[in-house]
Amino acid sequence: MVDYRLNDEHEQLRLSVRSFATKEVAPVIGDYYEREEFPYPLVSGMARMGLFGLPVAEEYGGMGGDYLALCVALEELARVDSSVAVTLEAGVSLGVMPIYRFGDQRQRERWLPGLASGEMLGAFGLTEPGGGSDAGATRTTAELRGSEWVINGSKAFITNSGTDMTGLITVTAVTGTKPDGGNEISTIIVPAGTPGLTVAPKYSKVGWNASDTHELAFDDCRVPAENLLGERGRGYAQFLATLTEGRVAIAALGVGLAQGCVDECLRYVDERSAFGRKIGENQAIQFKLADMELRAHTARLAYYDAADRMLRGEPYQKQAAIAKLASSDAAMDNARDATQVFGGYGFMNETPVGRFYRDAKILEIGEGTSEVQRMLIARELGLPAR
C-alpha cells in the first residue's frame, strides 16, 4: 500500500520552513504586500536556508534533495503568504530547473551555483502579450548572426524578471522554420542587464503584490551563440517539460493557501462571538470548515501522487494536471469560504484571508489555466484533441 506520510528528512524540512514562515514572514509580509514591495530580507532568509537549491545536486551548490522537498517548502510558505512562496516557486521551477535539466556542463557551472544559493534569481520568458495558453504561437524571434543570437520581441507577466537579484531570463524564441512549415522554437539564456533588454515598470496586480512581475522587451538584444539552452529547435519540448514539473510545485503552493485558510478560520472562530456564543459552535461554520479541510487534504494527496510518480521516473503528466486543477479549485473555494467566515474583516487587506482571496485567483490562470488542465486530462484519457 502506498504511504503518503513524509519521511523524516522531508518532515524536518517542513517544520523548519513552517517556523520561518510563522516567525519571519507572517509578522511583516502584510506591510510589504500593501506597499507592493519585493521582500528582499525574506528572500535572503530563504536563500540562507538553502531553499533555492533544494532539488539541485551538491556539485552545483545545491542541497542535493528532490523535487518533493521543494513542494513541501512551498506548501508551508503559502500557508502564510503566496508572494513569498511564488518567488521561490518561480525561482526554482522556472529559473533553476531549465538550466539544471537542459543546460550543458559549462552553463550549469556558470549559472547554477548563484541560482541554487539564492544569490541571484532566474526567470522564465515564455508568455507573450498576444498569447498565453497558445505558447506555440511565439512571435519573439532569435536570429543567429555570426557568433551571436539577435533577439527581438516581448514577453509578458514574467516573475522575478526585474529584481535587483535577477541574474538571467531563459527566453523562448522562433529560431527558424521546421520542415513541416511550423515554427522552430528554441530557448536562449539572456543575462540580466544585456543591452537591448528592457524591463518595463512593474504591473499593478490584484494579488501576489509582494512578488516581482514585469513585461520584457527585446530590441536587437545580442547574446553569445553558446547561450542556446539545450538543442536548437527543442525549446517547445523543453518548456512543456518545465511546465509539467512546475505544475506540481504550483499545486503545492495552492494547497498551502487552501490550508492557510483553514488555519486562519480555526483561530478566528475560537475568538469571535455572536449571539452569545463562539461562532465555532455553530454547525454551519463547522460544516464549512470541514469542507475546507477536505479540499486541502485531497489536493495535497494529488500533488503527493504526482511528485511521487515524477521521482520514480514514471509518466506523471495527467497527475500533474489533476494536482494543479484540484489545488487551484481548493484554494479558490477555501479563500471564498474563509472570507465569508471572517465577514467584514475578511474583506480587509490587513487580514491574511483578505490577501488569500486576492492571491487565489491567479492559481486558476498561471502555469496553465484550469481549462488547459482539463484539456490535458481529457487527452490522457484518450479523448480526441481538437
pLDDT given for residue 133 in this prediction: 61
Q: What is the mean pLDDT of residues 17-42?
A: 97
Q: What positions carry a catalytic annotation?
A: 367
Q: Which residues contact 383 (CB under 8 A, 6 or more apart)?
A: none
In this structure, what DSSP letter does residue 192 have? T
pLDDT given for residue 125 in this prediction: 94
pLDDT in tens, 78-130: 999 999 999 999 999 999 999 999 999 999 999 999 999 999 999 999 999 97
pLDDT given for residue 82 in this prediction: 98
Q: Model confidence at 134, in pLDDT bands (50, 70, 90)? A: low
The per-residue DSSP string of 87-132 comes to HHHIIIIIIIHHHHHH--HHHHHHHHHHHHHTSSEEEEE--BTTBS
Q: What are the distances in angstroms from CA 199 to CA 120, 138, 186, 357?
A: 17, 19, 21, 29
pLDDT in tens, 149-171: 999 999 999 999 999 999 999 99
Domain boundaries, the chain: 8-122, 123-232, 237-380
Euclidean distance between CA atoms 170 and 123, whole angstroms: 6
pTM beyond 0.85: yes
* The CATH number of domain 8-122 is 1.10.540.10: yes
pLDDT given for residue 132 in this prediction: 63
Q: Which residues contact 144 (CB under 8 A, 6 or more apart)?
A: 150, 175, 225
* CATH among 3.40.190.10, 2.40.50.140, 2.40.110.10, 3.90.1660.10 for 123-232: 2.40.110.10
pLDDT exceeds 80 at position 19:
yes
pLDDT exceeds 70 at position 1:
no
Sign of the four-CA dihedral 93, 95, 101, 105? negative
Q: Which CATH superfamily is domain 237-380 in?
A: Butyryl-CoA Dehydrogenase, subunit A, domain 3 (1.20.140.10)
pLDDT in tens, 41-88: 999 999 999 999 999 999 999 999 999 999 999 999 999 999 999 999
